Amino acid sequence: MTPLLRQFLDEGRGLIQEATRHLLVLEREGESREGTAIVFRAFHTLKGSSGLFEVGAMTRMLHVAEDLLAGIREGRTVIGAGLVDALLACLDQVGQWLDTLEASGELPDGADRDADSLISTLRSAAGLGGPAVRDGGSPAPQAGAADAGADFLAAFGEGERREALRLLREAGPGAGILAIRYEPRAGCFFDGDDPLELFRGLPGLAAFRIEAGSPWPVLEEFDPFSCSLVFRALAVGQEERVRNAFRLVSDQVRIVPLDLEMPEGPAVRKGTAVADAVIAEQVRLLHMPGCPRPEVAGRIGSAAAAVINVLLYEGRQDDVGAVEMAADEALAKADPRILSAAILRMAEHRRAEHRLAEGGASAASAPLTAAAGQDQDTVRTGAAQRVLRVDEARVDHLMRLVGEMAVAKNGLEWLVRSSGADDATVRRLQDLHGTLDRLTREMHGAVLRIRMLPLRQVFQSFPRLVRDLSNRLGKPVRLVLEGEDAEADKAIVEQLFEPVLHLVRNSLDHGVEAQEHRRTAGKPNEATLTLRGFQSRGQIIVEVEDDGRGIDAAAIRRRAVERGLLDAAAAAELTDEDAVQLVFAPGLTTAEAVSELSGRGVGMDAVRAAVEKTGGSVTVRSRPGQGTTVRLALPLTLSSVRILTVQAGGRRLGVPMDVVSQTIRLPRGQIRRVKEHEVFVLRDRVIPVVELSRLLGLESPVRSAGEDARLLVVEVDGRVAGVEVDGFAERLDAVLRPMDGLLSGIHGYLGTTLLGNGEVLLVLDLKEILR
């Protein structure tokens, strides 16, 4: 994917969000000059940037949408729900196309058809007639026009395009960028034409080039009255005026409207690209074989000068010293490679920093980048915040390495104790181990923080969703978002969307009363739905709160008894607060009507399942007649624990690897009895053996003497023990769920984890068990 396309995709998605948000505001709060301008601008920029790619259908559709918005801006068209719907549908379509474009590099096959259909939707929503007639009566833009424009554009440099954009921003409404290619007839001078004069009189000339149409002959044979020039230009203004200026030579000129819209950012990055290229070129230069001896010093010196100048250009004075030193050495030994090696090292360092800086400049949709705020406004105001864009897999890899480091560190501790070294050495090694231990833990925390994302990622989809739901249900709803900046691990944040969506649907469907009921209850016509996020005690909390009817505890009790979830006596004993928690039980629903939206009984138990899968919990608080609050509490991080699964007492259990320093198989003969204890000797140390099944009160199998014992060598609070198990199975990274619900009273377990096959694995807390 080209960087330009990448940028288009990122910015396009940002613009879709921005336009969506402001369309919703427009619809809610009525037309405002400012709001209309923002939406217009977003469509305009989308359309303009799309012109740089072969996405004719998209450009065409956006062009029509932009025209309508211009009409609204100028008061010719009135904005209404129908038009907002059509514009939103347009944005949805563009969003889908961007996805396709990202995946396959082109629009899907039916794009033109879809564009046509949306264009007619737009037109009928705006109360305009037939599909292809534009307001001004000029023909609709051709699907290929934008692509042809991109060809025209290629002749011009970045600076010339920017100049055109600058003029466009200053120009009044109706102005566009036009690419002009004028190749006068050879005999044009005899017709009285003076092509240069046409350009002199052209307003809004942004870029101008004069080229020879064919190579010049020798001067003696040159015919001064035969024109063989080609003129290229970019002009900003009304298309009609520009065409008018060339009307007498219209057969020799091509004028293509460009709709060129380019962000202002690239200039900075272009400098970086040039710097990159210059640095790379010096390395190639230094590696070029066969440099004549007298030129070696000049070559090394000039490469050093070039690289140092790049550094000065970028304000990286700190790196200059290293390059200078390497250059001195390279000169002294007449060996260019000494310098090239230093340049490569410096470049590595420089690139790493640039990657950091670059993320901040682009409002990208790539997941990890969003830490700066997916929201365009945040990106703008938070320009100082630097964001790194990395592949998630790399962070995961880093995480695994940290985990392995922790295991290796445990091994070190064991080695120190059993090494038999003198006390001073042991103490020093222990200090070192302590440092390693602290660093490992800090690294773990630091890596976890890399993965943090703001809740905005989830919340931002809801204004649109709530609007659609509220329209469909005929219940006016005001959505309030709070705490969008609260952060949690990417995996957690991403898993929040589905449950929150369920809850929002439920609230609107069942919680919020129909309008007439709200009126009789003396409530405002418009319901309020709040999505709230915050961190609390190492958890990320998301609340979905409505001001609807609340949950009828009595109805829940009744229903639970009907369903056989509990008997009438038990149900009666439940407090209202506890009773409403039953909504999370599978198959229980209280809505009298089966609604199209939520379906029967689907939702709350699915919410619970989803939340518990990530080690979270869900609770509901109901204030009858006043509203419902559902609270999701999830861990901040999906801190996965490295686990060894073992067999003991006929069960499969998990043991966290961080307490296990090694696993050994031992001929049973080596386990001796000392008093009432079984022990074995490992590196001159006597270590007690305990049987896991016995510790857990499980039945231990009968062991034959010929069978090797399988032991986990475990260290807890400075005491080492051999824990005998029936067998070792696989090692895995698991996300631990705390022991709650039925299991909450049981000790000796760290938590549970779901295995791939859906089986629940209990993970032992060996520290507690062995203590």
Partner 1 sequence: MPDATHPYRRRAGAARRVLVVDDGTLIRIYYRKALERSGFGVDEAVNGIEAMEKLLSGHFDLVIVDINMPKMDGLSFLRALRAQPEIGSLPAIVTSTESAEHDRDAARAAGANFYLTKPVSEDSLVLHAAVLTGASA
Partner 2 sequence: MTVLVEMDAIHLKGDCPVDEAEIVLQALLANPGLPVDWSECEGLHTAVLQVLMAARATLTGSPRDQFLRLRVAAALSSQAEA
Chain residues that interact with partner 2, rule: CB under 8 A: 184, 189, 193-197, 199-200, 205, 208-212, 215-217, 219-220, 222, 224-225, 227-229, 232
DSSP 3-state of 219: helix
Burial of 40 (0-12, 13-18, 19+ CB in 10 A): buried
Least spacing, CB of residue 94 vs partner 1, in Å: 31
Candidates 132-140, 151-159, 458-466, 524-532: pick the segment binding partner 1 (CB under 8 A).
151-159
Task: Answer with the entry of partner 1, partner 2, none that 311 interacts with (C-beta below 5 to 8 A by kind).
Answer: partner 1
Are β-strands 719-725 and 709-716 bridged in parallel, bridged antiparallel, or unpaired? antiparallel
What's the first-to-final CA gap in the chain, in angstroms? 58
Candidates 282-290, 465-473, 530-538, 668-676: pick the segment binding partner 1 (CB under 8 A).
282-290
Task: Answer with the entry of partner 1, partner 2, none that 194 interacts with (C-beta below 5 to 8 A by kind).
Answer: partner 2
User: Which token pair is 52?
Assistant: 């740089």
Task: Answer with the entry of partner 1, partner 2, none that 427 interacts with (C-beta below 5 to 8 A by kind).
Answer: none
DSSP 3-state of 621: strand
Task: Answer with the entry of partner 2, partner 1, none that 271 interacts with (C-beta below 5 to 8 A by kind).
Answer: partner 1
- State which of residues 113, 166, 270, 672 lies at the interface with partner 1 (CB under 8 A): 270
Nearer of residues 212 and 742 to partner 2, judged by Cβ? 212
For 472-537, the DSSP string reads HHT--EEEEEE-TT-EEEHHHHHHHHHHHHHHHHHIIIIISPPHHHHHHTT--SSEEEEEEEEEET
Nearer of residues 320 and 398 to partner 1, judged by Cβ? 320
- Buried-exposed string 652-667: b where 16+ CB fall within 10 A, e elsewhere: ebbbbbbbbbebeebe
Candidates 117-125, 157-165, 372-380, 684-692: pick the segment binding partner 1 (CB under 8 A).
157-165
User: Which token pair is 765?
Assistant: 């807390």
Least spacing, CB of residue 754 vs partner 1, in Å: 53
Nearer of residues 334 and 408 to partner 1, judged by Cβ? 334
What is the x/- site pattern for partner 1, positions 215-254, by CB under 8 A?
----------------------------------------
Candidates 33-41, 154-162, 185-193, 509-517: pick the segment binding partner 1 (CB under 8 A).
154-162
Q: In whole angstroms, what is the distance from residue 412 CA to residue 592 CA?
A: 64
Q: In whole angstroms, what is the distance from residue 251 CA to residue 204 CA?
A: 22
Task: Answer with the entry of partner 2, partner 1, none that 485 interacts with (C-beta below 5 to 8 A by kind).
Answer: none
Q: In whole angstroms, what is the distance from residue 508 CA to residue 502 CA?
A: 10
Task: Answer with the entry of partner 2, partner 1, none that 332 interacts with (C-beta below 5 to 8 A by kind).
Answer: partner 1
Q: Do 255 and 243 form a contact (C-beta atoms < 8 A)?
A: yes
Task: Answer with the entry of partner 2, partner 1, none that 314 interacts with (C-beta below 5 to 8 A by kind).
Answer: partner 1
Nearer of residues 234 and 556 to partner 2, judged by Cβ? 234
Cα angle 395, 396, 398 (rounded to 5 degrees) comes to 65
Phi, psi of 587 (to 5 degrees): 75, 15
User: Which token pair is 680?
Assistant: 């074995």
Looking from the CA of 146 toward its CB, the CA atoms found within 13 Å total 24
Least spacing, CB of residue 178 vs partner 2, in Å: 17
Smallest CA-to-CA distance from 412 within 390, 439, 377, 388 is with 439
Nearer of residues 210 and 401 to partner 1, judged by Cβ? 210
Task: Answer with the entry of partner 1, partner 2, none that 295 interacts with (C-beta below 5 to 8 A by kind).
Answer: partner 1
Least spacing, CB of residue 270 vs partner 1, in Å: 7
Query: What letter represents residue 366's amino acid?
Result: A
Phi, psi of 490 (to 5 degrees): -50, -45
Q: In whole angstroms, what is the distance from residue 693 CA to residue 580 CA?
A: 40
Smallest CA-to-CA distance from 387 within 372, 373, 375 is with 372
Smallest CA-to-CA distance from 481 within 496, 461, 503 is with 461
156 binds partner 1 (CB under 8 A): yes
Least spacing, CB of residue 216 vs partner 2, in Å: 4
Q: What one-character DSSP code corresponds to residue 583?
A: G
Q: Do 688 and 721 form a contact (C-beta atoms < 8 A)?
A: yes
User: Which token pair is 39?
Assistant: 């939406």
Nearer of residues 249 and 671 to partner 2, judged by Cβ? 249
Least spacing, CB of residue 354 vs partner 2, in Å: 31
What is the x/- site pattern for partner 1, positions 284-313, by CB under 8 A?
xx--x-xxx-xx-xxxxxxxxxx-xxxxxx
Looking from the CA of 612 toward its CB, the CA atoms found within 13 Å total 17
325 binds partner 1 (CB under 8 A): no
Task: Answer with the entry of partner 2, partner 1, none that 321 interacts with (C-beta below 5 to 8 A by kind).
Answer: none
Nearer of residues 197 and 348 to partner 2, judged by Cβ? 197
Nearer of residues 230 and 405 to partner 1, judged by Cβ? 230
Query: What letter represents residue 755's amino acid?
Result: L
Nearer of residues 305 and 609 to partner 1, judged by Cβ? 305
Task: Answer with the entry of partner 2, partner 1, none that 706 interacts with (C-beta below 5 to 8 A by kind).
Answer: none
Query: What letter represents residue 224's amino acid?
Result: P
User: Which token pair is 611?
Assistant: 């939340």
Least spacing, CB of residue 195 vs partner 2, in Å: 5
Q: Do 587 and 605 form a contact (C-beta atoms < 8 A)?
A: yes
Nearer of residues 194 and 377 to partner 2, judged by Cβ? 194
Smallest CA-to-CA distance from 253 within 231, 235, 227 is with 231
Least spacing, CB of residue 295 vs partner 1, in Å: 4
User: Which token pair is 549?
Assistant: 């009817």
Least spacing, CB of residue 208 vs partner 2, in Å: 5
Task: Answer with the entry of partner 1, partner 2, none that 294 interacts with (C-beta below 5 to 8 A by kind).
Answer: partner 1
H or E stretch covering 545: strand 539-546
Q: Do 489 and 638 form a contact (C-beta atoms < 8 A)?
A: yes
- Kindly identify the residues of this chain, within the stretch 576-635, that bind partner 1 according to CB under 8 A: none
Nearer of residues 200 and 771 to partner 2, judged by Cβ? 200
Least spacing, CB of residue 321 vs partner 2, in Å: 39
Least spacing, CB of residue 212 vs partner 2, in Å: 6
Place of tokens 């995946």: 103
482 binds partner 1 (CB under 8 A): no
- State which of residues 11, 27, 160, 513 lies at the interface with partner 1 (CB under 8 A): 160
Nearer of residues 314 and 605 to partner 1, judged by Cβ? 314
Nearer of residues 190 and 313 to partner 1, judged by Cβ? 313
Least spacing, CB of residue 281 vs partner 2, in Å: 22
Q: In whole angstroms, what is the distance from residue 216 CA to residue 228 CA?
A: 9
User: Which token pair is 671?
Assistant: 């386990």
Task: Answer with the entry of partner 1, partner 2, none that 15 interacts with (C-beta below 5 to 8 A by kind).
Answer: none
Q: In whole angstroms, what is the distance from residue 467 CA to residue 445 CA?
A: 39
Nearer of residues 276 and 576 to partner 1, judged by Cβ? 276
DSSP 3-state of 438: helix
Nearer of residues 225 and 757 to partner 2, judged by Cβ? 225
Q: Do 539 and 486 form a contact (C-beta atoms < 8 A)?
A: no
What's the chain's Rg over C-alpha atoms? 36
H or E stretch covering 344: helix 336-361
Least spacing, CB of residue 202 vs partner 2, in Å: 10
Nearer of residues 218 and 593 to partner 2, judged by Cβ? 218
Nearer of residues 353 and 431 to partner 1, judged by Cβ? 353
Binding site for partner 1 (CB under 8 A): 156-160, 270-271, 274-275, 277-278, 281-282, 284-285, 288, 290-292, 294-295, 297-306, 308-315, 324, 327-328, 331-332
